[in-house]
Structure 1
Amino acid sequence: MPMLDVIRLSFPGGLHVGIHSVTLEASGVYIPSDTLFAALVDAYRRTGGNPDDWMQSFPRARFVQAGARPREDRWEYADAQAPFVLTSAFPYAGGVYFFPKPVALRRLFDPQLLKARRKELDRIRYVSLEILHLILRGERLDGWLFPTDPKQKPDKGVALQGGTFWLTVKECEQLPSTIAYDGRRRKLPLCTMRQQSVFNNGQVPRVTVSRITSTSQIFHAGRVCFAPDCGLWLGIHWYGPEARLGQTTFREALERLFTLLGDDGLGGERTAGYGAFRWGRAAEPLQLPDPAPGAPALLLSRYHPRAAELPDVLTRAQAYTLTPVGGWLRTWDGAAQRRRRVWLVSEGSIVHAMGQLPWGDVVDVRPVYRASGDLGIPHPVWRCGLALAVGMQEAVQ
């Protein structure tokens, strides 16, 4: 079973995560695995490390512009055994860890129930660890769904934050006191959990002042604020924790880099205080089932399949979604520029297990300018597409 070291992040000043094709006024709630990996590599360079030393340990696809025409471009592939793989950072509330809702969740429900409660199922974005175990075993979930009537006492399943989160009655005991109790320290009824929030996604007014005319212009930025004892968690699956990175190991390096990133922040609008966090390691690791070759597997990270994996991993997949990943890059070797867009398989997708993990690679997304016949910057810009997947069983009929 994969053992996930759990890193808990709390954001006292809020968080802004940019969303593709959406304005600054909106913010994502979770941090994708490729963003986390890029932040670690950037922090490693800012501490004096050489990114090439870091990347030597990861399977990668480097872009080579051999000529002025696109057909002359090529990719240089280098294989390696990755020392670790990251999940994306998902919400937690107290001692309850949440996971992305599987894309093919509907196959675990009776057709009549699906017809009656489709909107409620579509509203679910995250499931708890106990619900996830039921899904991975392929069990029917009809009896575990929370009641339709918000005033009815839940029997097995509980809805949190208007149905965004789905957990079990037993797991409600691990929720933080700010959610499970009222102001007089009285335990709240389970039916009221639907009105309790793990996070608040709002907008904050900001102002920009012209340097020429000194006129002001108001704008709004999205900000996610978490309830006390709530935040984001990520899992690290180690393949080689003692692998060398310069004069230290990857495990020791990650601890220092998380501390540095905690001060610098993650995501956007960091100059306004967003994204700064405190981090800690959970006392117990998470154990989840390994993917079996030929069986379905649930992704907990984004995934960029290698060319050799494409014929099977997606064509035989049960259900998956693709996410275009673009945005801006930051480098010491030039001005901020747009990265080339890359398509990644999203978290929650159910793919066809290929064999030994990790699947995928780390891909070079530095910009290309055809008019000048030159790459935008003199070094690769890496986007991580290494898959962290857990095994699933076929649905019980």
Structure 2
Amino acid sequence: MSKWKLVKLDFKNNPAHFGELGIGMEETSERVRSDTLFSAIAITYARLGKNLDTLLDRFHKESPPFRLSSSFIYRETSSGVTYYLPRPKEPPTNYPIGNDIKIAKDYKKLNFLDIKTWKSWYQDGGFDNTGLPKSLYSQCFEIEKHPKVAIDRITRSTNLYHTAFVRYRSEPHDKSGLYFLVEFTDRRLEDELKSVLELLGEEGLGGERSSGAGRFEPSWHELDEQWTQLLSFDDGNSQSLIRLYWDNPPISLDDSSYELQERGGWITSAAKNQRRKKVTMFAEGSVFQKAPIGKLADVTPHQFAQHRIYRSGIALSLPIKINLKEAL
């Protein structure tokens, strides 16, 4: 029987830089996707003297030892904690398809829903026609740009550029950060992952770590009642991804609704900078009739012989109930 945990990453007042393929150094995402999080954990696992090859071999099997979601925003105030989840790519039941001119534009901006709205729309009663909820998602963080100077090693000429950082709320009674879910099938790995995240928090997650960016304090939590009810929902007819998914061949796309995300990046363990092979994955919020499984994608570049390079496409999804024949 699997065991679920929720992990919060409290960045305090530390900035972070989470670059993604195609957005450039000047931009940053407000969160870390599952493949990047898995890679950071794997590299730190090896740095602790653990046998990474043995661990990765277990992820090539039908039942991996654990599954990670992508990271998402949480906001903690004196009234409680609000967790945000990606809005599924299919509309909820009762959504006024064909008669939604007044709400369609605002609805499509709701890429992330608070957990209460998410559960109400996709597990309980469906869309609330009294109006859209007020989204406070953008209030949880700020994007700021820092000027930097690059110096040419040969000519000594300088070039001014900017790098974007995300900074989360860090007031005493109103703070935000990232969280992710872990489903353990091998509970013995929980203590090892705790050690990994402690070290990763000290070193930093994402880019610009040499500048002190990305440092966080991890905390582990049991799932509360709202999460337990959400995960145990047994009246669903579809599954919505909460992490990136890759498989070859992929799950059946009948009655599915999805977004594709190209993933790339650099190999951090190589002596010389080399790019991983690019791979296209299904993004968070993609909807399938059945729960996808997923695999590790081999993205080792040609003529790189030190070791194999993988991106995690092992899926994790939540049950939802929608009108299968109605798409937005």
The answer, yes or no, to whether TM exceeds 0.5 is yes
Distance across 1 between alignment mates of 2:261 and 2:91: 19
Note closer, same or farther for the CA distance 1:32–1:291 as it changes in structure 2 (3 Å cut): farther
How far off its partner does 1:53 sit? Answer: 1.2
The equivalent of 1:9 in structure 2 is: 9
User: Contact conserved, 2:93 with 2:127, CA < 8 A, in 1?
Assistant: no
Aligned partner (choices 371, 377, 382) of residue 305 of structure 2: 377
Q: Deviations over 1:122-155 (max 9, x none)?
A: 2212101111112332633233634xxxxxxxxx
- For residue 316 of structure 1, the aligned residue among 236, 242, 254 is 254
1:47 matched to which residue of 2? 48
CA distance in 2, matches of 1:118, 1:126: 15
Q: Could you say what the CA RMSD is over the residues aligned between the two structures, in angstroms?
A: 2.5
Q: How does 1:43-192 map to 2 (within 5 A)?
A: 43-59=44-60, 79-94=61-76, 95-105=81-91, 108-111=94-97, 114-137=100-123, 139-143=125-129, 145-146=131-132, 157-160=133-136
Report the Cα distance in structure 1 between the residues aligned to 2:116 and 2:17, rounded to whole angstroms.
Answer: 29
**Structure 2 residue aligned with 1:204:** 146
Alignment-derived partner of residue 278 in structure 1? 217
Mapped to 1, the partners of 2:3 and 2:125 lie a distance apart of: 23
Q: Measure, in 1, the Cα distance between the counterparts of 2:300 and 2:191.
A: 29
Q: Could you tell me the TM-score, scaled by structure 1's length?
A: 0.73
Please, which of 339, 348, 351 is the counterpart of residue 276 of structure 2?
Answer: 339
Q: Which runs of 5+ in 1 are unaligned?
A: 60-78, 147-156, 165-196, 243-249, 369-374
Quote the residue 1:18 is aligned against: 19
Structure 1 position 298, deviation (Å): 0.6
Q: Provide the residue aligned with 1:299 in structure 2.
A: 241
Describe the SS at the equivalent of 1:298.
strand
The structural deviation recorded for 1:380 is 0.7
Residue pair 1:138, 1:392 contacting (<8 A) in 2 also = no
Q: Does 1:236 align with 2:222?
A: no
Alignment of 1:242-261 (within 5 A): 242=188, 250-261=189-200
> Offset of 1:314 from its aligned partner?
3.8
CA distance in 1, matches of 2:7, 2:297: 25
Instruction: Name the SS of the counterpart of 1:281 in structure 2.
Output: strand
Q: Distance in 1 between the 2:3 and 2:318 partners?
A: 11
Answer yes or no: is the 8 Å Cα contact 1:110–1:142 preserved in 2: no
1:284 offset after TM fit, Å? 3.6
Structure-2-length-normalised TM-score: 0.87
Amino acid aligned to 1:36 = L
Distance 1:141 1:326 in 2: 36
Deviation of 1:366 (Å): 0.7
Spell out, residue by residue over 1:145-190, the C-alpha distance to the aligned partner (whole angstroms, 9 max, x if none): 34xxxxxxxxxx33215xx5xxxxxxxxxxxxxxxxxxxxxxxxxx
Confirm or deny that 1:367 pairs with 2:301: yes
Q: Offset of 1:3 from its aligned partner?
A: 5.7
Deviation for aligned residue 1:57: 1.4
> Aligned letter for 2:176?
C
Whichever of the two has the greater Rg, that structure is 1
Q: Which AA in structure 2 matches 1:37?
A: F
User: How many residues are treated as equivalent by the alignment?
Assistant: 313
Larger displacement relative to structure 2 (14-23 or 283-292): 283-292
Say whether the 8 Å CA contact 2:121–2:128 is kept in structure 1: no
One-letter amino acid matched to 2:231: P
Is 1:388 the counterpart of 2:316? The answer is: yes
